[in-house]
Amino acid sequence: MHDLLVHARTPDGAAISLAASGGTITDVGPSVTGSAREEIEAPNAILLPSWIDAHVHFNEPGREHWEGLDTGSLALAAGGGTVFFDMPLNSSPPVTTRGRFEEKHRIAERKSHVDFALWGGLIPDSLPHLADMAAAGAIGFKAFMCHSGLDEFPTADAATLREGMRIAADLHLPVAVHAEIPKTIDVSGKDMAAWLASRPIGFELDAIRRALDLAHDTGCALHIVHVTCAEGIDLVTEAKAAGIDVTVETCPHYLLLTDTDAIRIGAPAKCAPPLRTTSTVEALWQRLLSGNIDTLGSDHSPSSPDLKTGDDLFAIWGGIAGIQHGLPLLCNRGFDFLPQISANVATRFRLPNKGGLLPGHDADFILLEKNTAPIAEPDLLTRHKISPYLGLTPRYRITTTHLRGQKVTPQTRGRFIYPEH
């Protein structure tokens, strides 16, 4: 007797069944038999592992009026996710001590509808606190190699980053970096075109090279977030071949939107690093499909609407709110990228019970069916109805998301997950 038995199909149309008991997958195959307390017959649906989103900003505590763990985790579930890693900013105060880490942990246990892990912050003042945050269960440490957009989370200069990486290596935890080293560039105007021109690919490449050098020197596990260009991915690929412990992430918006879209959409499409040219996007897709990009994170970074309005794009909040529709829209190009969504994240961050449709893993999965309806404001479950994807049409919609075999609803509560040591 199974708790749950699901009958659906694979992306290539083959039959697949999944059995689960006690929240754990017990069998997967073309035709799993037996009786079950709950049976789902979904012959027209595609069964896939759920998304582990290792890069979100739910902004709580302190800025839950920007999003919050309640609405953010529900939107992630609607977008196919069952696990998120919340960044140490833009909650206020940021998570840079054990006390702040534990406060966010307590709040998330009350409010999150899916499982979660928490990043600790790596800033100059947090170096003495890294070990305590690790003891509290931090999944890793996040640093900015440029201004974060918030003065309360300052830049990790080269000395800070080196020392933070040295400590993290001793703690056997990764350091994630926002890799841009800005220089002064003379641009005219304050519109989106000027914003795009003000942060060229070279800023990313300079930062990636520095981060890789520091990872080499310290032996730290490095995770470079939201890389926008094939040249950056290639630097990481070369570093892996040289023995550096490094992985690299990109985001759905860098695969789905271009600089032309940014100019058309305006403020909802402002992010850092910015959106790139069509040729850059296509080259990034090539690296994704070749397996050279390790993970996909939403970098969901919403704000209140007042911070996303105005004519000065440099003053507007720089964050994409796309957690609900990034994965469905990526599926318009097929399903070959799926390991980056689930298995690679679980492997990198040592979550042995997550990341795949395998016996012994948590029964975290999604069902998708064909879709013809474009994305509209009433569909959005985020706190504010802001998305650069409005009007786009996913070829598939996620009908249900299951966490440990249970359909995620507003009544579901997630669990705090620790990296395995």
What is the chain's pLDDT, residue by residue, as a tens digit (421 residues)? 899 999 999 999 999 999 999 999 999 999 898 999 999 999 999 999 999 999 999 999 999 999 999 999 999 999 999 999 999 999 999 999 999 999 999 999 999 999 999 999 999 999 999 999 999 999 999 999 999 999 999 999 999 999 999 999 999 999 999 999 998 888 999 999 999 999 999 999 999 999 999 999 999 999 999 999 999 999 999 999 999 999 999 999 999 999 999 999 999 999 999 999 999 999 999 999 999 999 999 999 999 999 999 989 999 999 999 999 999 999 999 999 988 889 999 999 999 999 999 999 999 999 999 999 999 999 999 999 999 999 999 999 999 999 999 999 999 999 999 999 7
Which pair of structure tokens corresponds to residue 49?
């592992």
Q: Given this model, what pLDDT does residue 185 score?
A: 87
**CATH domain 51-348 topology:** TIM Barrel (3.20.20)
Nearest to 336 by CA among 297, 369, 292, 370: 292
Please give the torsion angle defined by the CA atoms of residues 85, 89, 91 and 97, in that order, rounded to the nearest 10 degrees: 90
Q: List the end-to-end C-alpha distance of the chain, in Å, as a whole number.
A: 34
Q: In this structure, which CATH number among 3.90.380.10, 3.20.10.10, 2.30.40.10, 3.40.50.360 belongs to the domain 2-47+360-407? A: 2.30.40.10
How many Å apart are CA 324 and CA 322, to the nearest integer?
6
DSSP 8-state class, residue 348: H
Tell me if 400 sits within 8 A of 367, measured CB to CB: yes
Selection from 85, 159, 150 nearest residue 116 by Cα: 85
pLDDT at residue 340, rounded to an integer? 86
CATH 3.20.20.140 domain position(s) in the chain: 51-348
Omega prior to 273 cis, within 30 of 0: yes
Cβ 303 vs Cβ 58: under 8 Å: no
Measured at the CA of 285, the angle between CA 284 and CA 290, to 5 degrees, comes to 100
* CA 231/CA 284 separation, integer angstroms: 9
Stated pTM of the model:
0.97
- Where do we find the tokens 């709950």? 38
What is the pLDDT at residue 339? Answer: 83
CATH 2.30.40.10 domain span(s) along the chain: 2-47+360-407
Question: What is d(CA 16, CA 4) in angstroms, rounded to the nearest whole number?
Answer: 14
Assigned token pair, 16: 């697949």
Torsions phi, psi for 51 (to 5 deg): -85, 130
